[in-house]
Structure 1
Amino acid sequence: MPLLRRAQLAALGAALLAAGCLGAPVAGADEQAPSGCVQPGPTLRYLVVFARGTAQPDADAQIAAACGSTTVYYPQIAVAVVTSPDPGFGDKIGPDRAYSAQGESWTSDGQSSRKKVDETMSAASLLTSTETVPTADLGEQQWDMRLIDATLAHQITEGDPRVVVGVLDSGIDPRHPDLKAALDPQLSVGCLTGKPDPSVAAWAPTTSPHGTHVAGIIAAADDGKGITGVAPGVRLASVKVVDDDGYIYPEYAVCGFMWAATHGIAITNNSYYVDPWEYTCSDQQGQRVVTEAMKRAVDYATSQGVLNVAAVTNSAADLTQPGADTHSPDNAPNHSVRRIGTECSVLPAEERGVVAVSSVGSNQLKASYSSYGLGAVDVTAPGGDVHQKPSNGDNPCVLSTVPGGYGDFCGTSMAAPHVTGVAALLASTHPGDTPAQLTKLLNQQAKPVQCPGDYDLNDTGVQDAYCSGYASFNGFYGHGMVNALAAVASGTAPRPSTGAPGADAPTRAGKGPTDATSSQQPIGPEQLAAGQ
């Protein structure tokens, strides 16, 4: 789920079924179910992992024999997304091969225990126009950009439009004046069935401003109006992996990583953890399916030249403590974050090769909510903290774009896109570098932040968390605070663009399809209404 969210309980089962939100409808009297299959419903989605190298016809046949229907099959990683109304599907195809995260959200009486997000906005307000957004320059309020030397970096370069950042989130407002020039509709996609849907309706935001806020931190335009992102010269792809209830099921994330891997996206930002568990345990039946599918998807994306950046969650947890028992801020019985095994990880932040980001407030102290852990955190960045107020009176949270204007949010969700923006500057000034090389540069160029001598945030005489490690690498801050100026000063600044962003070059040398460039056509009301 998005790391910023605080959810409220809502029993939505009947309404979701009526709206068809849980997949394909149950077969009617005039439809023939496969022999030996039962269809009491509800129809659920499953992730299914196959032996590597399994061809699609073979996978489809196995799925059909177990009373399921293939939504999409990713042959590169031998993972499928399947729907089935048969409650025995998982047992038939094999409980160590199939898992329905969606099914974790249903009670024994068939009612949904999923929860609505409290940062919802009306659909109309999530689709803005230039005229409705304030035009005042808000740059003086961006303490976060000063903390990472972004303004100084922009004097050298603001990034290369050939670098595309995929924002795996709740969607990016395609009309926001600070984002519409950077947003590439041709590389944007919705993943809420586990299968890519490139229609505008599939990737535009509907109930959450979260993705738009994250996108602004990365690449809001440097136009003297509103705010400016870390890398305003790069392009953005809206990859929607957050559903209208604020959940990121693993099939959504797998779809997002596979889209990035196959469409020339250089960097992904992941300000979420995969539901329905904050900690996914590879030694638990079902959850090991999610662990394997996510590992394959992330590894494949990395092999295709994608650098993945992720937030470490807002649970204030020590991620190095296996088997610890923590509770989500949501306190939801069917959305537990308990680590019931000993091999448990926050996904995707703790996947190998992913840059894991903790959060600090304006005084560079670990944010009270930020998770941490020696070896679990790679770098840190500004995410804000209401307990750390800037000396000049600015809002202690991070100011960025939201549908209709600008807003302040705090969270590791906000820290991660600062790192993503710096990584985009590095990819711009070090063209051709691999994800491993870019990660090494991020770590080397970060400014070390020492463990605090005292981390008693509420003056009770008890430490609220313990920082282990040493000055240049520790559990609170990893290698330190990322630095935008170091990123652009260490390489060759990209040549100026000769036209619309992305119109004159491929997104990443040697990677992605040959048609991955964009004409940057504006999106109008009729396209949004038609879902084009």
Structure 2
Amino acid sequence: MLEENPAENTGLEVVAGEFRDEGVRFVARRLIVQLAEGAGEDPVGEALAALPEGTTVVRGPSATGRLVVLLPEADTVLANVGVAETTSAIEYVEPDVVDRAQIVPNDPRFAQQWGPTAVGAEGAWDLETGAGNVLIGIIDSGISMSADVLDHDDLRDGARITLGTDFVDGGTPRDLNGHGTHVAGIAAAAGNNATGIAGMNWGSPVYICRTLDASGNGGSADFADAVEEITDYAVARGLKAVINYSGGGPANNTKQQACQYASDRGMLVIAAAGNDNGGPVIWPAAYSTSIPGVVAVGSTDPGDVISSFSNVGPEVTVVAPGRNILSTLPTYSVSPTLPLNYGSLSGTSMATPLVTGLAALMWSRHPGHTNAKIKQCLQDSAVKLGAAAFDNSWGHGRVAARVALTCGDLIIPVTRIGPCRSRIVLCEPSTLTICRPSRLPILCQTTRLSTGCVSGLRCPSVVDGCQSSLGCRSELCDPNIPVRPPVDPVLHEIVGRLEELERRVAGESSASQGDWFYVDDDGEVHEV
């Protein structure tokens, strides 16, 4: 079935054993060696000298000191885990534990895309469909390609999609499993293009890395290298990154440090909670409670019912639609059970990219938010699926798209109390006293305006969003005296838009109580 582009290696050799008192599956002969900080002049040589003769370097060392080596004998991996104790050049050694794609096979011809509707995506798309300031990273089994070219109608924009490293076979990350293409479509398939489906995010750039082979297996070292590659790419270009990983397995230092690496640099890792029918949350998703930049996603069925396969635990951050999710599939055959081009699959793998696409929309709208703020907004805006504020099965709730996007917006009522005709205050050095005493917020640290409340808006700003409660004592409130515009043309435009909106609202009979607009924390004015 892979004759179109045969790969040198379409699968990892996986063996089973016990590591840290837990049964695990790991890549045969492969060890992850973390070099110690401040090691000697030749730490790689010292590390190899401590390992069996014939050990070769597969990859590295990475920028964080990770080395992947191949042992000469397949059955000696666990026997060499303790080698770190024999040399100061090595911090730790561990097997390359195997992650699995988190998918539950189901009817592949279910022809209805119910997930976006369930989370209110249509309302969110009215506000944002994806901007270039945030990168969607997909670490999975690759993406549909023919002759090294993107070939799917919903995933063929080469200007938007960057092909990263294929850690399984080398070359371009061509999907030989189908899982990666399906995940990419849920997060980022082109929308409003009269073809196929609409992904959660239509416009943000996408970066593809392949770590899962044709069987859905992938090593933790490959995952870690992919996380660092996407993170470094985003940092170098001044982007925020939301990294999707619809896979997982046992815990190890390598996955934990990769998630910490991304989180420390301001990125998010959105990971699947797992499909063990209510078992414990798998890693890396389970790092959600210890690493700020990790979000664990569980799955729901139609009607906001938790999917029977979805794992549970205190690490679940949010849940999203994950059963019978229609999305993109490769244009060529990768499995006799999967159709070409489009089909439906189930799993926390499918719930995770919906949240990834949503988080990228949120960051598109609020580029000033931190990764911790995006995560908090996902939690705070989620729909509770029970009486409690948190539940191990559904976390903080099922994601709600439009509410999540407006998290951080400032809502301002268009009302007038007293003779003050405007709430626009110039943020520049001034000795004017505005409507004192007042509850106006100070929005700019350089102002000398005497006001009585505090704002969280970023300074400098020309928008003063808190109305006065008392009458004016200032000539600024005199409608016959023009307000001097700021020098900055962008800020001047915002002032003009607010003044025009106020003039229009002032002419409507219900303006004093019923009309609203809001100014978000980036200075954008929106009508409600």
In 2, the alpha carbon distance for the partners of 1:153 and 1:144 equals: 13
Match of 2:330 among 399, 403, 409: 403
Alignment of 1:471 with 2:432, yes or no, is no
In the aligned structure 2, how far is the partner of 1:88 from the partner of 1:412? 34
Q: Which residue of 1 aligns with 2:139?
A: 168
**CA distance, structure 2, for counterparts of residue 55 and residue 438 of structure 1:** 41
Q: Are the equivalent residues in 2 in contact too, given 1:167–1:269 (CA < 8 A)?
A: yes
| Residue 99 in structure 1 maps to residue 94 in structure 2 | yes
Paired residue for 1:489?
406
1:144-185 per-position Cα deviation (integer Å, ceiling 9, x unaligned): 111111112112220102321111110012211111227755
Cα-Cα RMSD: 3.3
- In structure 2, the residue matched to 1:424 is 360
- 2:457 paired residue number: none
* Residues 1:426 and 1:85: Cα distance change in structure 2 (over 3 Å): same
Distance 1:209 1:43 in 2: 24
CA distance in 2, matches of 1:184, 1:98: 38
Give, in whole Å, the separation in 2 of the partners of 1:69 and 1:434.
41
Q: Note the 1:14-29 alignment, pairs <5 A.
A: none
Does 2:353 align with 1:378? no
For residue 78 of structure 1, the aligned residue among 33, 40, 65 is 65
Indicate yes or no: 2:256 matched with 1:346: no
Q: 1:192 aligns to what?
A: 168
User: Secondary structure in 1 aligned to 2:59?
Assistant: strand
- 3-state SS of 1:224 partner: coil
Amino acid of the structure 2 residue aligned with 1:488: L
Counterpart residue number, 2:243: 268
Corresponding residue number in structure 2 for 1:51: 36
- The answer (yes or no) to whether the contact 2:12–2:218 under 8 Å persists in 1 is no
Letter in 2 for 1:399: L
The farther-off stretch of 358-367 and 347-356 is: 347-356
1:449 aligns with 2:385: yes
Q: Is the 8 A contact 1:183 1:237 kept in 2?
A: no
* CA shift for structure 1 position 295: 1.3
Distance 1:159 1:491 in 2: 17
Q: Could you list the per-position Cα deviations for residues 9-68 of structure 1 after superposition, in whole angstroms to 9, with x for gaps in the alignment?
A: xxxxxxx9x969769xxxxxxxxxxxxxxxxxx982211123245478313432245232
Structure 1 residue 95: deviation in Å? 4.6
Which ranges of structure 2 fall in alignment gaps of 5 or more residues?
1-6, 14-26, 85-91, 145-149, 235-239, 332-340, 411-528
Q: TM-score, normalised by structure 2?
A: 0.61
Q: Which residue pairs with 2:185 in the alignment?
A: 216
Q: Would the alpha carbon gap of residues 163 and 46 (structure 1) be closer, same or farther in structure 2, given more than 3 Å must change?
A: same
Q: Displacement of 1:84 after TM fit?
A: 2.3
Deviating beyond 6 angstroms after TM superposition, the runs of 4 or more aligned structure 1 residues are 18-23
Aligned in 2, Cα 1:219/1:185: closer, same or farther, shift over 3 Å?
closer
Q: For the Cα contact (< 8 Å) 1:22–1:45, is it kept in 2?
A: no
Question: Structure 1's 403 and 364: CA in aligned 2 closer, same or farther, altered over 3 A?
Answer: same
Distance in 2 between residues matched to 1:360 and 1:256, nearest whole Å? 28
Measured in 2, the distance between the counterparts of 1:177 and 1:63 equals: 48
- 1:304 deviates by 1.6
Taking a change above 3 Å as real, the CA distance of residues 299 and 52 of structure 1, as seen in their structure-2 partners, is: farther
What residue is the counterpart of 1:361 in the other structure? 301
Consecutive unaligned residues of structure 1, counting only runs of 5 or more, are 1-15, 24-41, 106-113, 120-137, 281-290, 320-344, 385-396, 451-469, 494-532
Contact (CA 8 Å) 1:204, 1:238: kept in 2 or not? no
In structure 2, distance between residues paired with 1:238 and 1:153: 25
Q: Deviations over 1:75-109 (max 9, x none)?
A: 5433211122146576567356333347x99xxxx
Does the CA contact (< 8 Å) of 2:11 and 2:213 recur in 1? no
Q: Secondary structure at the match of 1:45?
A: strand
Task: State the partner residue of 2:423.
Answer: none
More strand by share: 2
TM-score (norm 1): 0.60
Q: Which amino acid aligns with 1:69?
A: T
CA distance in 2, matches of 1:55, 1:167: 36
Query: Contact between 1:149 and 1:485, CA under 8 Å: does it hold in 2?
Result: yes
Does 2:216 match 1:246? yes
Moved more, 79-88 or 303-312: 79-88
Change (3 A) 1:376 1:90: closer
- Residue pair 2:60, 2:66 contacting (<8 A) in 1 also: yes
CA distance in 1, matches of 2:272, 2:242: 14
Q: Structure 1 residue 492: deviation in Å?
A: 7.5
Higher relative contact order (CA 8 A, sep 6+): 1
Measured after TM superposition, the shift of residue 246 of structure 1 is: 1.7
3-state SS of the aligned residue for 2:60? strand
Return closer, same or farther for 1:175/1:88 CA change in 2, 3 Å cut-off.
Answer: same
Please give the secondary structure, in 2, of the residue aligned with 1:253: helix
Determine the structure 1 residue equivalent to 2:369.
433
Work out the percentage of aligned pairs sharing the same amino acid: 30
CA offset digits 1:119-150 (Å, max 9, x no partner): 8xxxxxxxxxxxxxxxxxx9x93211111111
Amino acid at match of 1:98: V
Residue aligned with 2:253, SS: helix
The question of whether the paired residues in 2 share the 8 Å contact of 1:77 and 1:296 is answered with no
Indicate conservation of the 8 Å contact 2:382/2:396, yes or no: yes
Residues 498-513 of structure 1: pairs in structure 2 closer than 5 A: none
- 1:296-324: CA deviations, max 9, x gaps? 111011112220011111112342xxxxx
Query: Match for 1:154 among 125, 129, 154?
Result: 125
Whether 2:302 is the aligned partner of 1:317: answer: no
